[in-house]
Structure 1
Amino acid sequence: MERRTFLRTAVVGAGTSVAFGFTLWPEAVGYPARTGPSPYGALQAADANGVLLPKGFTSRVIARSGRVVPGTGFTWHGAPDGGACFADGTGWIYVSNAELGTGAGGASAIRFSATGAVTGAYGILSGTTRNCAGGATPWRTWLSCEETDRGYVFETDPFGVEPAVRHDAMGRFTHEAAACDPDRRVVYLTEDETNGGFYRFVPTTWGDLSSGTLQVLRETGGALSWATVPDPDGSPTRTRRQVAGMKVFNGGEGCYYRNGTCFFTTKGDNRVWAYNAVDNTIAVAYDDNLTGTPPLTGVDNITGTPVGDLYVAEDGGNMEICVITPDDVVAPFARVAGQGSSELCGVAFNPAGDRLYFSSQRGSSGGGITYEVTGPFRGSR
């Protein structure tokens, strides 16, 4: 029985809220998370940027689509989406994708000093299509994924030195996000299709993604296994239709790996999944059908912190970033007001963990806005 089915039966049958704590899994997340008070307290009134945050937190606008990034000569891209931060000496770099149409996509970067001042901005990928999410690698590159039929994964240089490289071996499908698992030396990949798969790429040499084997998660008689995708090129048969028994996921979105567990989201059913790579099992960490008045809907990009908190951005809902804590609580952390036709994305922490970056892809009038939130995040240095 799929764990989600068991949990739903337990909750409905008992007529009460049943808590499944962390003792069931090595990763510190309760399954499923329940609506509760935020560890940061209630959201305060919207600030001058239209962002509602807990007491002690502040926001600033870093960049706006179509405008020069303040302090630089670089014009910020449209439709900002997935992002990540990279250490850069005493400062850091924030990378952001551009989810724009055929040939207009790509990725850009903003460089920060140790004090958080913007010191530069530049492009790191161009001429691609609908670069939605992606993922950082342990060797400090950014995997930018094309969310289009038979899209590619591009490996880019956040520092703006090396040219981007297309990795055909990672498969051609409607790519969404990527998460590196250095323990098993694989890269997990999500697929944004209603009948999509959950993949992993096993490179021939760890640190070199130019060759390797693409596999997809399969379920047979309740047991999970990884099956090789016969034709990663996906033509004429799409990769999600090549393996019998492939476990189907409804609209794969963000993906984040930590301590033996890969968390990923599916927007079609508003779930956060937890794939336990150690035991090769899967559970539902969050399901909006299993909590009263769910604060988190339209799940999308996801990131986490060393203390075990997960941060999930909404595509839809009420434009919130919600936190899922290690004690089974899901609650709003931030909300952007007056931008109901947009989506939040690109959630990423700087190396010290005291600044959170994200974007509102379309803002209030069609132009994307990239924000920074500063404050006493749990576990920050």
Structure 2
Amino acid sequence: MLRRTLLRTGGLTAGAALTGSLWQRAASATATARSPYGPLRAPDTNGVALPAGFTSRIVARTGHRVGGLLWHAAPDGGACFPDGSGWIYVSNSEIPLLGGASAIRFGPGGEIRGAYRILSGTNLNCAGGRTPWNTWLSCEEIARGRVFECDPYGGRAAMPRLAMGRFKHEAAACDPERKVVYLTEDEADGCFYRFRPDVWGDLASGRLEVLCADAATGPVTWKPVPNPAAPLKAARHQVKAARHFSGGEGCHYDGGVCFFTTKGDNRVWAYDAQRERLEVVYDSESPLTGVDNITGASSGDLYVAEDGGNMEINVITPDRRVAPFLRIEGHPRSEITGPAFSPDGTRLYFSSQRGARGDAAGTDGVTYEVTGPFRR
């Protein structure tokens, strides 16, 4: 779990986690530090450059069958779910009108046991988030987009959760301590939201709130969005005091902190939910460029995928090192999407959305698995 004290204020002692503002400055100063996993080796047969001890395999390709299912185009946001002695990886499809999401079921040894659709007929499903009750929130990245709650096990039909607002949804992250869901918005002047369900575990009704602040970082407040359905006025323009962000992307919660990324200014942010403060974790042009999807490991490490850049996933450690963990070679017009760890933390899944061809329709997407000695 990410350390609860990661962004807490107070005196800094030997071995203690840094406060957000100190971590921000230190992260910038050590942005080119050596990775805790060591340097990347030459690309393997799959074109993936990894540190020593790690291996990759391709688990799915757009237009090819995996587990009996024709894998979707433009694979995007993803998450893993426990499944008995195995697990499931869910992946969105960021294509117009037919988007949706699919799932791959793995056995205890990583063997593929099947694949199936869990959402169909939706529009530009970008990122999303896993809930504590093991459902997948799939988000439409369109004007007045919706959030769909999906069953990764394939037993129940997906349901739209309209109370979570109609806007250009990107990602979602659940905070079980405060019983809210954080939401990012992919607009040049997008907002950062939280949804308070009337009943935790039931997202059918509740209140949508927007983060408000007088300064770029520091204390924040939350105010209700008057009309989350936004038929006439966009949700991000309904509250005058709302803090606007330059293209909200990935979102990840752990240990009292919600991390999210903004592509317009290449930043990784941290919202300290207990103290209601906003800080910047990463604000540099190197080595991490084109910040996008984000996930975390039980070690406290963050893994941030690049949209463009040089097709890397970078690791940000609790001791403020920022360095490449992997790189996909030969996919210059693609982006890395959907990073997610298997429940035991030994496997990392992700996709190259447009693959080597790099076509806008995402017809050459590739979904990978990396196995190795991840820090836990």
With normalisation by structure 2, the TM-score equals: 0.91
Q: Does 1:212 align with 2:206?
A: yes
Task: Please say if residues 29 and 325 of structure 1, whose CA atoms lie closer than 8 Å, have aligned partners that are also in contact.
Answer: no
Task: Please say if residues 20 and 270 of structure 2, whose CA atoms lie closer than 8 Å, have aligned partners that are also in contact.
Answer: no
Question: 1:39-72: per-residue Cα shift (whole Å, max 9, x none)?
Answer: 0000000100000000110000000001101xx2
Corresponding residue for residue 329 of structure 1: 321
Q: Does 1:357 align with 2:349?
A: yes
Q: 1:305 aligns with which of 297, 302, 307?
A: 297
Corresponding residue for residue 307 of structure 2: 315
Question: 1:256-278: per-residue Cα shift (whole Å, max 9, x none)?
Answer: 00010000000000000000000
Q: Does 1:143 align with 2:137?
A: yes
Question: Secondary structure at the residue paired with 1:127?
Answer: coil
Deviation, 1:234, is: 1.2
Letter in 1 for 2:118: I
1:67-78 equivalent positions in 2, closer than 5 A: 67-69=64-66, 72-78=67-73
Question: 1:269-304: per-residue Cα shift (whole Å, max 9, x none)?
Answer: 000000000000010000115xxxx11000000000
Corresponding residue for residue 244 of structure 1: 240
Q: Does 1:159 align with 2:144?
A: no
Q: Which runs of 5+ in 2 are unaligned?
A: 1-15
Task: Please say if residues 172 and 183 of structure 2, whose CA atoms lie closer than 8 Å, have aligned partners that are also in contact.
Answer: yes
Change (3 A) 1:245 1:29: closer
Letter in 1 for 2:233: T
Q: Does 1:131 align with 2:125?
A: yes
Task: Please say if residues 294 and 305 of structure 2, whose CA atoms lie closer than 8 Å, have aligned partners that are also in contact.
Answer: yes
Letter in 1 for 2:92: N
Q: Does 1:373 align with 2:365?
A: no
Corresponding residue for residue 113 of structure 1: 107
Runs of 4+ in 1 over 6 A off after TM superposition: 26-30
- In 2, the alpha carbon distance for the partners of 1:287 and 1:26 equals 12
Corresponding residue for residue 8 of structure 2: none
Question: Secondary structure at the residue paired with 2:78?
Answer: strand
Q: 2:281 aligns with which of 279, 285, 296?
A: 285
Question: 1:321-341: per-residue Cα shift (whole Å, max 9, x none)?
Answer: 000011111000000001010
Question: 1:63-111: per-residue Cα shift (whole Å, max 9, x none)?
Answer: 0001101xx211000000000000000000000000001x210000000
Change (3 A) 1:143 1:29: farther
1:150-299 equivalent positions in 2, closer than 5 A: 150-220=144-214, 223-289=219-285, 294-299=286-291
- In 1, the alpha carbon distance for the partners of 2:74 and 2:224 equals 34
- In 1, the alpha carbon distance for the partners of 2:250 and 2:101 equals 17
Corresponding residue for residue 88 of structure 2: 93
With normalisation by structure 1, the TM-score equals: 0.90
Task: Give aligned-pair identity as a percent.
Answer: 61
Corresponding residue for residue 34 of structure 2: 37
- In 1, the alpha carbon distance for the partners of 2:91 and 2:281 equals 27
Question: Secondary structure at the residue paired with 1:340?
Answer: coil
Letter in 2 for 1:22: A
Q: 1:47 aligns with which of 44, 50, 53?
A: 44
Task: Please say if residues 310 and 325 of structure 1, whose CA atoms lie closer than 8 Å, have aligned partners that are also in contact.
Answer: yes
Deviation, 1:25, is: 5.0
Question: Secondary structure at the residue paired with 1:23?
Answer: coil
May I ask how many residue pairs the two structures share in their alignment?
352
- In 1, the alpha carbon distance for the partners of 2:344 and 2:210 equals 35
Q: Does 1:56 align with 2:53?
A: yes
- In 1, the alpha carbon distance for the partners of 2:214 and 2:73 equals 43
- In 2, the alpha carbon distance for the partners of 1:35 and 1:91 equals 37
- In 2, the alpha carbon distance for the partners of 1:43 and 1:25 equals 29
Task: Please say if residues 73 and 365 of structure 2, whose CA atoms lie closer than 8 Å, have aligned partners that are also in contact.
Answer: yes
Change (3 A) 1:22 1:318: same
Letter in 2 for 1:116: G
